Chain A
Amino acid sequence: MNKAVLEFSSRAENVAFARVAVAAFVSQVDFTLPDLEEIKVVVSEAVSNAIIHGYENNPDQVVRLEMSIADEYMELVVIDRGKGIEDIQKALEPAFSTDPERMGLGFSFMQSFMDKFKVQSKPGQGTRVKMSRRAGAPRRAVVPEQ
C-alpha cells in the first residue's frame, strides 16, 4: 500500500490544491481521465464541507487529508476538527443545505462518485469522511454507512 497525508489550512484556495494533489497521487492507479475528474469533484466537496461547515470559514484551522492506493484501489479520508454534524442522516439527504445559496449536493456527489462512503461526526468534535473507489468498477450510488 502506498500512502500520503496532507494537512493544510482551511482556506478556500486550498480546495484546488487538494484536488490536484489527490488526482496526482491516485493517478498511479489505472483510473481513466473521467474517473479522475469525478475524484476531483469528491475531493472538492469534502474539503469544501470541512472548511465551510466544519470550520465555518475560519481560515486558520487545519484540514487533514489521508490518501492511500493499493492495486486498483484508492481510499481517501478527509478530517476536520470543527463543529461536527448534529444530524448526519439529515445532512446526507439530497438537496439538504443550511444555506439557500448552496445546493446541498456535496454528499450526493461523494456517494455517486465513490464505491464506499462513510461519515463519522460528533457535534463539537469534528467530522471524518472516508471514501474509496476501485478503478474500472461499475458504480452506483451507495447507501452510506454511519
Chain B
Amino acid sequence: MNYTIKKENNCLVVAPTGEIDMSITDALRRDVDRALEQSQVYNIIFDLAGVSFVDSSGLGVILGRYKKVSAAGGRVFLTGAGPQVKKVLELSGLLTLLEEHPSVEYIISKIS
C-alpha cells in the first residue's frame, strides 16, 4: 500500500495503490489532513484506480475527510473504483454522499 497526494488546481488528488485497511489508515488520514492544511484547498478527489482492496477502515478515512471538508464548503469526489471497491462503496452508502465521475481530469475540469 502506497499513496500519492498532490494539489491540482483547487483540488487535492489522493491516489492510493494496493490494499487499504487499518494498517495504513492512520498514516493516510494524517497525511491527507496535513496536505489540506498546507494547500488550503477544500476539494478532494480520491482516485481509487490503483486500489485492489478496501474495507470499512478505508471507507472511514473517506467519510472523515468528507465531514471535514464539507464543513468548510468543500466537496469529495471519487473515481476509478474497481469491482471490489465499488461493491463496498455501494453497500456502505457512501455513493449517496459523494460524487463519482469517470476520471480525475473530468472532475478537475468540472470544478475548476
Q: Which residues of A contact B (CB under 8 A)?
A: 12-13, 15-16, 19, 34, 37-38, 40-41, 44-45, 48, 51-52, 95, 99-106, 108-109, 112
Contacts and interface: CB of A to CB of B under 8 A. Distances in A.
Contact of B21 (A15, A38, A105): A15
B91 A109 contact: yes
A98 to B, nearest CB: 12
B29 to A, nearest CB: 7
Given A16-B21, A51-B22, A109-B88, A45 B64 contact: no
Interface in B22-81: 22-23, 29, 53, 55-57, 59-61, 63-64, 67
Q: How large is the interface on B (under 10, 10 to 19, 20 to 34, 35 or more residues)?
A: 20 to 34
A16 B18 CA distance: 11
B88 A41 contact: yes
A13 B56 contact: no
A103 B92 contact: yes
Interface of B: 19, 21-23, 29, 53, 55-57, 59-61, 63-64, 67, 83-84, 87-88, 91-93
A104 B91 CA distance: 12
A37 B55 CA distance: 11
Contacts of B22: 12, 15, 48, 51-52
Contact of A37 (B23, B60, B63, B84): B84
B56 A100 contact: no
Contacts of A12: 21-23
A109 B23 contact: no
A91 to B, nearest CB: 13
A41 B59 CA distance: 12
A102 B58 CA distance: 9
